[in-house]
Each structure stands twice: as structure tokens, then as C-alpha cells.
Amino acid sequence: MRNDIAYTKEMFEKAPQELRDSEKIKRPSIKYWADVWRRLKQNKLAMTGLVLLIILTIMSIIGTQISGYKYYEQNLKKINMKPNKEYWFGTDELGRDLFSRTWLGTRYSLIIGILAALIDFGIGVLYGGIAGMASPKVDSIMMRIAEVIYSIPYMLVVVLLSVVFSEAGAGTSMFVLILAMTITGWVPMANLVRGQVLQLKESEYSLASESIGASKGWILRKHIMPNTLGPILVNLTLTIPVAIFSEATLGFLGLGLQPPKPSLGTLANDGLAVMPIGLFYQILIPAVLISILMFSFNVLGDGLRDALDPRLRK
């Protein structure tokens, strides 16, 4: 259609203000992580886990100061006392206050779990990232090595290292415990990161970025890293309970921290020794705490995974 109408100023009128505002973005735009947090908040189970974790963390920091007894303080007149007004969690067979010992044990278990998971995370991201970005040949060699390391039964390595680096019956230092756990523990993280990098490297937006001249480093920083962060975070959260579990198992087998330092595993081990004489509370308390810790990290990790998964977005 030919357009031969002569336009004059009178033919137009100013749009009213409200019409102009209708297209304005008034509500704050929700960033990715804010959205994740919003959906995580709706997950009651995950929030329960988070709250429990916060409480346990606070207690592990201040809990040793509350009862007024030091964790190594022995009172041989008051051994194996059931929980009472004076000793809230009772005393052990050396008359030590189990309240202080339990929270210190929680502290060590948390520290070991989180440190081991962080080291796994560091090594895994580096190794997996390099393998993913490297040439297929290098990648294949690196992954074969990782495969061999991973098929070494991990608990055997942990036990062996603890045996070698600790005096007979004297327990293990925290450093050795963490080392033993991270030797094979980083491989799943490396596999995850490598898989993600390989997948994202081939994605359309990486290709688009590359086609307009972006460098490899730019693509890695701007496109690959932010997108792998979610799965890595989930994996990190789910690695912590595994590490706490391994530490507890080692402690239970008598390969835990050096006494008198407690961890939840060694406390449970001490508790097992007195269980036949009817002192069930000594194993009950650390056992319940380990279970709560593992439960919290597990549901938090699951919740994070659901919150990060765009397919589950409503």
C-alpha cells in the first residue's frame, strides 16, 4: 500500500503517562542465584537441613564453653554417670564431661568433612577443567590415570595410610585423615567437571562466542565456569557427608583422631565399649549427631540440586 498521506503534527497526541510506564520493569529482576535461593527456601526438607546445620555449627563453636568442664578434664569419682543436671550428656569412663567432648567432636568432624570436601573440590576442578579443555589425547591419558586411582578401594587406602602414619593405638593426626580421604576422593569431582566442560564447550553459546572472536580464556570464564558452578556446588555439598561418614567409620575402627581429642566416630567407639554394661547413652549421642549431620548435608545437597535444575522450574 502506498503511503501518500501527509502527516501533520496535529494528527498525533502525547501518550498518557501510565501507558508509557506500562513497559517499564518495575519489579527487581531476579538474578540466577536469587532465584535458586528462592526455590531452595520453598523446600522445607532442605531448609530443615540448613537450620540444623547452622545450629550444630554454632554449638560446635560455643558448645565446649557452656558446661564449664574441659574436654580432657578427668574426674575419677564421677565416671560413667548418666546424663543429669550437672553433666548434661553424662560422663565417660574416665569421668570426662561428654557435653564438651561431644561438641568438640562435632567440631572436628565438621572441620575434617568440610576441609576434605574443599580439597577434593580444588583438585577435582583443576584436574577436570584441564582435562576438559585439553586436546583429546591429553584428556584421554588424564582420565585413564584418574580411572586407575578411582578403582583403588578408597577405604583401604584410608585405613592403610592411617596405619602407616600413626603410632600403634595412638590414633591419627587430622592432616593424615584428610590426606587419606582426598587421595581418591577428588576423582568424582574431576569427572563431573570434565564432563560439564566438554559438554559446554560444544554448546551453541560457546560456539557463538567463539565465532565473534572470543578467546578460549573468555569462553572458559564467561560461559563455562558460571554454568558448571551449580553441579559443582551440589557435588561439594554431597561430598561433605561422605567425608564425615568416612571419618566416623575410621574413628569407630580405632583409627580416628589422637586421644584425648574426640571426634564423633571415636566417641561412638568409646560408647560401644560400654554398651554391654547398659550405658547406651554414650553411643547414642554421638551416633545421633553423626546421623543428623549426614541427614542435613544430604537433604541440603538434594534441595540444591532441585533448586539448580532449570527443568524443575515451575
Which residues are at the interface with other proteins (CB under 8 A)? Answer: 45, 144, 147-149, 151-153, 155-157, 159-161, 163-164, 168-169, 241, 245, 248-249, 252-255, 268, 272, 275, 280, 283, 287-288, 290-292, 294-295, 298-299
- C-beta of 130 vs 275, nearer to other proteins: 275
- C-beta of 133 vs 264, nearer to other proteins: 264
Q: Are 283 and 248 in contact (CB under 8 A)?
A: no
Q: Are 118 and 184 in contact (CB under 8 A)?
A: no
Question: Least Å distance between CB 175 and other proteins?
Answer: 16
- C-beta of 224 vs 270, nearer to other proteins: 270
Distant-in-sequence, close-in-space partners of 30: CB < 8 Å, separation ≥ 6: 38
- C-beta of 34 vs 163, nearer to other proteins: 163
Closest CA to 177 of 261, 277, 88: 261
Question: Least Å distance between CB 263 and other proteins?
Answer: 13
Q: Are 150 and 123 in contact (CB under 8 A)?
A: no
Question: Least Å distance between CB 148 and other proteins?
Answer: 5
Q: Are 96 and 89 in contact (CB under 8 A)?
A: no
Question: Least Å distance between CB 294 and other proteins?
Answer: 4
Q: Are 240 and 297 in contact (CB under 8 A)?
A: yes
Residue owning grid cell 588424564 = 142
Q: How far is CA 237 from the centre of its chain?
A: 3
Closest CA to 268 of 60, 66, 109: 109
- C-beta of 72 vs 165, nearer to other proteins: 165
CA dihedral 298, 302, 303, 309 (to 10 degrees): 160
Question: Least Å distance between CB 125 and other proteins?
Answer: 22
Question: Least Å distance between CB 84 and other proteins?
Answer: 21
- C-beta of 14 vs 311, nearer to other proteins: 311
Question: Least Å distance between CB 229 and other proteins?
Answer: 22
Give residue 61's identity as a one-letter amino acid code. I
Closest CA to 306 of 233, 201, 241, 203: 233
Q: Are 239 and 189 in contact (CB under 8 A)?
A: yes
What is the Cα–Cα distance from 283 to 175, expressed in whole angstroms? 26
- C-beta of 67 vs 191, nearer to other proteins: 191
